Amino acid sequence: PPVIRREDYTPFPWILPEVRLRFDLGLEATRVVSTLTVARNAKADPSSTIRLNGDGLQLVSVSIDGEPVNTWSMDGDDLILPLSGDAHEVEIATEIDPGANSQLMGLYASNGMLCTQCEAEGFRRITFFPDRPDVLSTYSVRMEGEKAQFPILLCNGNKVEEGELEDGRHFAEWHDPWPKPSYLFALVAGDLVANSSTFTTMSGRDVELNVWVRDGDLPRTDHAMESLKKSMQWDEETFDREYDLDLYNIVAVSDFNMGAMENKGLNVFNTKYVLADPDTATDADFDAIEGVIAHEYFHNWSGNRVTCRDWFQLSLKEGFTVLRDQLFSQDMQGEAVKRIEDVRILRSAQFPEDSGPLAHPIRPDSYREISNFYTATVYNKGAEVIRMMRSMAGPEAFRAGTDLYFDRHDGEAATCEDFVRAIEDGAGLDLEQFRLWYSQAGTPKVEVAMRYEGETATLSLKQTVPPTPGQPAKHPMPIPLRIALFDRESGEHGGEQLIVLDTAEKELAFEGFAQAPVLSINRGFTAPVAIERTAPREDLVFLAARDDDSFARYEAMQELVVGHLVAALGGGLSDEEREVGQAAIAEAFGAILTDDTLDDSMRGELMMLPSQTYLMEQMLVADPGRIHAEREALKAWLGQHFHSTLETLHDRVSAVPYSLDGPARGARKVKTQALVYLAAGDPESAAERAWEQFDGADNMTDRQGALMVLAGLEGALRTNALLDFYNRYKGNDLVIDKWFTLQAWSTHPQAIEHVKALAKHPDFTLRNPNRVRSLYMAFAGNPHAFHQADGEGYRMLADLILSLDPINPQTAARFVPALGRWRRIEPHRAALMRAELERIAAAENLSRDTYEQVTRSLG
Ligand code: HT7
Ligand code: ZN
């Protein structure tokens, strides 16, 4: 497959102001007739032909200006038509089979309904079209189909007409007045019911809101509806963005490649991000729904009104929209905890990407298959890069910049450069050097040292941006770091400051300290960098117990644990060193368990040990088996050391009744965390406690938390709980997904055997991405099972990729990165991982998606 390069961008030679589509809908055969108004693009080089992209389409007929023609030709899957004049009307009829579409791109069938997914290049699987984001058109759509099969017919924009036809058929006509690229087109036809409401916008317009689901799911849609209203309100208040149609539809489908899709006026969602009630969804599920509903809604401005010129600019809409949804969730759920969660995601998903063979800048330079670039780098690091601009400008000046961006580029297909320029002009920032964050991949490392002499503390900073594929040498980037210097007696600091490290090395002097201060750096995680410092252990204990920046407090605790585990893994610790390390961790951990000023939600965060993935990132070459053993040993030690404190804590939080308010949610978080440590310390007595939590639960958070602990233990209580859970929720796909995940992700020594058995379970299918991910993503993220020393885990994942690739290449390709980390794993396992990548690469008829990921991973 060819490589597509950012530098090769040229505008399309034609504009297509209006598109009319007629759909004759059927599950096995759908006929599509498209009528395109086409005119020369004065801003592009002229052409005597028009290239219309296609993918797997059956062409029925073509006419130009009302005359049937056969002068067309095919170039691969694309249709080439000769066009001699300045303006034409082109009509094309095609036929497609949605029932056979297992890739879930284009028009496909899911549970008897028809729906679409067009981003990034799915529209070309519906009809021939210049399927690129810089071609904007208004769409008028007519759908016809059997009324009994498809009673509800939805499309973008507003419904303008509907009516009955002969033979039990009916039709609906929709018009979307906002010009949009083809990737935002959507259609849904099926037997659906709606949770309906209204929202009055800031200018006083009433918008009809609907959340469409299958009949039995209606009682689980209230949270989604509330989240939508909160998002609309927040975007008006925070970014001055008002919704621009009279209707906003959300449809939930159970077969979906990603989380959701922001199609204009008709969002299509994975059921996972719509359906929730206390019995079937955890607190984390409720939060994820709120976040994804907000994300898709915010795209209406950052993505739809201002879209992307080409797919290299993906972070323009995704990075910015992730930042917007993070700020929204911070306002809804509390800033401190949300920031810690976001940084945890960045470190566990994006940092490994940035240090591996698939590293790429947030604005990539080339790709073979764009679906492979919907990554944590483009989304999450993209959001961090814009967050840094906001930190440097301050929130008000940043708002002036985003206002200017929306004003300047409304109705356009813009670039990342347009965004940076608008922030520069609107916020009054010089971002010349900052643009490197868009072009350089790799997580910068900042080495930090402090020396103290004659009442002066001198901070030395040194940055290095590591080499990444295709980028051997890097330039220093501006790195904004919020810092504070604490007086170790009073526990106070004299105020925070934002410093910007914009050279390879920098020294900063701070005067007037009677004794060496304690440094708190990268507070709030102002920059997405890896800080490397040899802070004295007592300074970390101080910060973990007393820092007034919650993120920095969390960070100090993590650093304390990482330092201890890395030292233990590095060359082994003497008994005495181990005791000293454990005592420091215990001092900080004990303070966290008992600090009355902490709310439980933050306590729950601070109690979490750094993940195994993050620990693996800290080492040049990691031994997953040893890391797992050391981490589990520390958990067990803490569980034993704090046994009675943890039991008292578990008793206290277990007495808090269920509600969705902050304190009750915090109590539930601490409840399962306490259980995790108790189970590590004393599995037998904790199993009884976990069973009680499981059996007595009146909500999914407690039940799932207890089952997670039980799934890692041996014995009858484990078997009973898994059986009970399955029988209780049989038929509820989203909850049965959890049942698969809990077993595949478990610390149980036989987890790998459980995964093998679950792959043969009657409820397992390769056709549903949620189900595949529930088993195999959890497995690939479970280091002790996946990295089994004999390579069995790698074989299983490679087998999965090979079986899934012909069915759903996009989903298959997403499993490749787990094998691609081989360079950072000890040599014996690395060779086994490489061998599996080579086995995949040698397979015939590999999709473009999987081929690209495997060849990059072998690199
Ligand atoms: N913008 C949406 C991306 C998306 C997608 C991409 C490729 C294949 C399937 C997909 N479904 C949704 C999601 C978002 O970021 O909001
Ligand atoms: Zn998005």
Task: Output the pLDDT for position 245.
Answer: 98
Task: Output the pLDDT for position 442.
Answer: 98
Mean pLDDT of the chain: 98
Q: What spacing in Å lies between the alpha carbon of 382 and ligand 1's midpoint? A: 15
CB 216, CB 149: distance < 8 Å: no
Average pLDDT estimate for 602-619: 94
Query: Which one of 123, 131, 258, 311 would you pick to mutate in the ligand 1 pocket, going by the greatest count of ligand atoms within 8 A of its CB?
Result: 258
For residue 293 and ligand 1, the question of a CB distance below 6 A is answered with no
* Residue labelled with tokens 């058109």: 137
Active site residues: 296
**Among residues of the chain, what percentage have pLDDT more than 90?**
99
d(CA 160, CA 144): 14
For residue 261 and ligand 1, the question of a CB distance below 6 A is answered with yes
Q: What spacing in Å lies between the alpha carbon of 119 and ligand 1's midpoint? A: 6
Query: Which one of 105, 117, 119, 255 would you pick to mutate in the ligand 1 pocket, going by the greatest count of ligand atoms within 8 A of its CB?
Result: 119
For residue 258 and ligand 1, the question of a CB distance below 6 A is answered with yes
Assessment of whether the complete model's pTM goes beyond 0.90: yes
- For residue range 62-116, list pLDDT tens digits in order: 999 999 999 999 999 999 999 999 999 999 999 999 999 999 999 999 999 999 9
Is residue 382 predicted with pLDDT exceeding 90?
yes
CB 187, CB 240: distance < 8 Å: no
For residue 325 and ligand 1, the question of a CB distance below 6 A is answered with no
For residue 371 and ligand 1, the question of a CB distance below 6 A is answered with yes
CB 758, CB 785: distance < 8 Å: no
- For residue range 253-288, list pLDDT tens digits in order: 999 999 999 999 999 999 999 999 999 999 999 999
Ligand 1 closest atom vs CA 122: 8
- For residue range 150-189, list pLDDT tens digits in order: 999 999 999 999 999 999 999 999 999 999 999 999 999 9
For residue 295 and ligand 1, the question of a CB distance below 6 A is answered with yes
> Which is it for strands 58-64 and 67-68: parallel, antiparallel or unpaired?
antiparallel
Task: Output the pLDDT for position 238.
Answer: 99
Task: Output the pLDDT for position 571.
Answer: 78
The residue whose CA is least distant from atom 13 of ligand 1 is 261
- Per the DSSP assignment, residues forming a β-bridge with 622 are 825
Would you give the DSSP letter of residue 688? H
d(CA 407, CA 401): 10
Task: Output the pLDDT for position 570.
Answer: 87
- For residue range 740-764, list pLDDT tens digits in order: 999 999 999 999 999 999 999 999 9
Q: What spacing in Å lies between the alpha carbon of 261 and ligand 1's midpoint? A: 5
| ipTM of the shown complex | 0.99
Task: Output the pLDDT for position 781.
Answer: 96
Q: What spacing in Å lies between the alpha carbon of 179 and ligand 2's midpoint? A: 19
For residue 262 and ligand 1, the question of a CB distance below 6 A is answered with yes
For residue 257 and ligand 1, the question of a CB distance below 6 A is answered with yes
- For residue range 399-432, list pLDDT tens digits in order: 999 999 999 999 999 999 999 999 999 999 999 9
The residue whose CA is least distant from atom 5 of ligand 1 is 119
Average pLDDT estimate for 844-853: 98
The residue whose CA is least distant from atom 2 of ligand 1 is 261
In 3-state terms the chain splits into helix, strand, coil percentages (rounded to 5) of 45, 20, 30
DSSP 309-358: SSGGGHHHHHHHHHHHHHHHHHHHH-HHHHHHHHHHHIIIIIHHHHTSTT
Q: What spacing in Å lies between the alpha carbon of 262 and ligand 2's midpoint? A: 7
- Per the DSSP assignment, residues forming a β-bridge with 196 are 210
Query: What burial letters (b/e) apply to 430-450, b meaning 16+ CB within 10 Å?
Result: ebeebbbbbbbbbbbebebeb
DSSP 441-465: -S--EEEEEEEEETTEEEEEEEEE-
